[in-house]
Structure 1
Amino acid sequence: MSAPADEEAPLPIPNLSLPQQVFVLSNPALSERHEAARKELIEGIEKDEMAPYLEILLSASPSLISPDAALLPKLIAANETELAKFDAKLVEAEESMGETEISDILRAKAAYLTKIGDKTRSLAALELALEKTPGLGARIDIVLTIVRVGFFFNDIELITTNLPKASKLIDEGGDWDRRNRLKVYQGLHLLTIRDFKKGGELLIDALSTFTASELMDYDSFVTVTVISCMVWMERVDIKKKIINSPEIRQVFPTQPALESLATSLYNCEYAAFFQSLATVEQNHLIPSRVLSPHARYYVREMRIRSYSQLLESYRSLTLDSMCRAFGVGPEFMDNDLSRLISAGRLNCTIDKVNGVVETNRRDKKNAQYEQVVKQGDLLLNSLSKLSKVIV
């Protein structure tokens, strides 16, 4: 395997669809997806000769995929043969070739170890290749490969350590393509830590220039972009940047629930919005390795968005009219609103006697005044404690 040149697209290694299949198989609630996930996982492991990764899976949960007993020995033998070839080439290069040839072989060996899912040895090989590689573009690609290893094994520390390294290298003279790919890496990481706003801003900015197919395919990229942006984007921008986006519109026919989520919220069709939100939760949030931990949070925040949008248009609404608008029963609406009001997430009150929801409108000046008073109280308390320590 030859190492990719600076101008070539990075290799899609390790295969990030495989830990997604492991996630599906590990979730009993997704049992209807297990057969397809097991098939894709085994095929991916066999194709990339992933003996080290298969050993990890068998050690953690032997019954997870139950591969053919002959598969692991076959893959181990294939790995040993291929790595022996790299070692022989490296010896020959060190004896009779220059630094460029040595660098190429080191990068190729690191790529193979990354592809087969050998975390420890691949990281060591990637660090060595990074040290021996002179080209800035190739060095950026190596660091981004390390980040992908972090994504593959869900190693947050590895990701957070190497994303700034990649950013620094790109600032030193990285090209336009790598700068745009880095946005996708950063955006995906921010989604994993529930920063949908910053992550969504990066993803939507990379929408028309997406080339990071080593991370995910284009349809998946559009899906996570729409989901991450819907939770914070202003209504006018939802129309401009999502509903009317040509890049997103070409994917909408295959993802009707996503289209309905955006258009129904924008058009104030709240019953349709609730239905599409439930579909997105079941089809895109819960089954996703990245988004599943944030599914409940996301659904709650989207409900708050829709309630707030409706209540902003009225001083008061009957509870019955809200139930009709959202297509839910009065008990659900009363309980949901009550929880959100008590948590300070909705500026309204419920008059249960008359069955009316009344909106409490706070202008910006009053809100700023309350914030200043609150911060002033905190400052005075801190000064009081400090004075006691000094005395």
Structure 2
Amino acid sequence: MDLVFYTLQLGFFYMDFNLISKSIEKAKNLFEEGGDWERKNRLKVYEGLYFMSTRDFKNAADLFLDSISTFTTYELFPYDTFIFYTVLTSIISLDRVSLKQKVVDAPEILTVIGKIPHLSEFLNSLYDCQYKSFFIAFAGLTEQIKLDRYLHPHFRYYMREVRTVVYSQFLESYKSVTIEAMAKAYGVTVEFIDLELSRFIAAGKLHCKIDKVAGVLETNRPDAKNALYQATIKQGDFLLNRIQKLSRVIDL
């Protein structure tokens, strides 16, 4: 088991994701035969780091949060860095209620987060809807994210995802809102917010439309019942196609 962990460390040093993936699978197979809790908890951090390094932030956040109270993986990074990764991945992965319960109010995070520049303001200003403060803190964190060996390849992607989260949170409170009011809330110009939103709307990241003449944003959130209806129809068509193919085979 220790040899597998050493192999994982080499994999992360050379960023060999094929080796890391195989080693994680090997470790899981060994744990099925028996293993202590300390090593199982260490493996969660290794696997979480693998997910984060391959842009699977949701699984990374879940594993990091499971390991907060049992962290002993100091051979990878110190506890401060671990909390840094946990907060960053959680912000773009968890809903507002889960973020409050698991991150904002977590005692393990509260004891460390103040030591990391801008991170406390980044997390709390998002939850408290202080968007101007959020962008200031976000700007302070960008250099740290850009210089991180695991996050650097995903820097632009992460920047987009965070902005999607914060814009969506603001728009959830309104049926319609002026672009000027939104720009003022974020402490940016109307031109900047107009350009930003148009990109995210075109990419399907935000459910709203811009009335350029009136200078208003109108939200058009997808109806949950309608989405469920469409999914049922789609799955029903798929099932009918499978049955028809099966009936042809049976007839033969």
TM-score past 0.5 threshold: yes
Q: Which structure 1 residue ranges, 5 or more long, are not aligned?
A: 1-139, 387-391
Per-residue deviation, residues 164-203 of structure 1 (Å, max 9, x unmatched): 1111112221101001000000000000110000011001
- Is 1:142 matched with 2:3? yes
Distance in 1 (CA, whole Å) between partners of 2:15 and 2:167 is 35
- Is 1:229 matched with 2:90? yes
By how many angstroms is 1:222 displaced?
A: 0.9
Match 1:298 to one of 158, 170, 183: 158
By how many angstroms is 1:376 displaced?
A: 5.5
Kindly report the root-mean-square deviation, in angstroms, between the aligned alpha carbons of the 2 structures: 2.3
Per-residue deviation, residues 90-149 of structure 1 (Å, max 9, x unmatched): xxxxxxxxxxxxxxxxxxxxxxxxxxxxxxxxxxxxxxxxxxxxxxxxxx1111111111
- The number of residues matched between the two structures is 250
Distance 1:382 1:281, change over 3 A: farther
- Is 1:243 matched with 2:101? no
Q: Secondary structure at the match of 1:345?
A: coil
Distance in 2 (CA, whole Å) between partners of 1:192 and 1:171 is 26
Q: Which amino acid aligns with 1:244?
A: D
By how many angstroms is 1:379 displaced?
A: 7.1
Distance in 2 (CA, whole Å) between partners of 1:354 and 1:383 is 52
By how many angstroms is 1:235 displaced?
A: 1.1
By how many angstroms is 1:226 displaced?
A: 1.0
Q: Secondary structure at the match of 2:209?
A: strand
Distance in 1 (CA, whole Å) between partners of 2:71 and 2:172 is 37
- Whether the 8 Å contact between 2:80 and 2:113 is mirrored in structure 1 is no
Distance in 1 (CA, whole Å) between partners of 2:17 and 2:152 is 16
Q: Secondary structure at the match of 2:149?
A: coil
Correspondence list, 1:317-356, <5 A: 317-356=177-216
Larger radius of gyration: 1
Q: Secondary structure at the match of 2:147?
A: coil
- Is 1:187 matched with 2:48? yes
Q: Which amino acid aligns with 1:355?
A: G
- Whether the 8 Å contact between 2:47 and 2:63 is mirrored in structure 1 is yes
- Whether the 8 Å contact between 1:238 and 1:262 is mirrored in structure 2 is no
Match 1:277 to one of 108, 132, 138: 138
Q: Which amino acid aligns with 1:346?
A: L
Match 2:39 to one of 155, 168, 178: 178
By how many angstroms is 1:383 displaced?
A: 9.3
Q: Secondary structure at the match of 1:366?
A: helix
Match 1:163 to one of 7, 13, 24: 24
Per-residue deviation, residues 38-74 of structure 1 (Å, max 9, x unmatched): xxxxxxxxxxxxxxxxxxxxxxxxxxxxxxxxxxxxx
Match 1:314 to one of 140, 155, 174: 174
- Whether the 8 Å contact between 1:243 and 1:259 is mirrored in structure 2 is no
Q: Secondary structure at the match of 1:290?
A: coil
- Whether the 8 Å contact between 2:58 and 2:93 is mirrored in structure 1 is yes
Per-residue deviation, residues 309-351 of structure 1 (Å, max 9, x unmatched): 1111111000000000111111111111111111111111100
Identity of aligned residues (%): 48
Q: Which amino acid aligns with 2:192?
A: F
Q: TM-score of the superposition, structure 2-length normalised? A: 0.92
By how many angstroms is 1:366 displaced?
A: 0.9
Q: Which structure 2 residue ranges, 5 or more long, are not aligned?
A: 247-252
Q: TM-score of the superposition, structure 1-length normalised? A: 0.60
By how many angstroms is 1:378 displaced?
A: 6.6
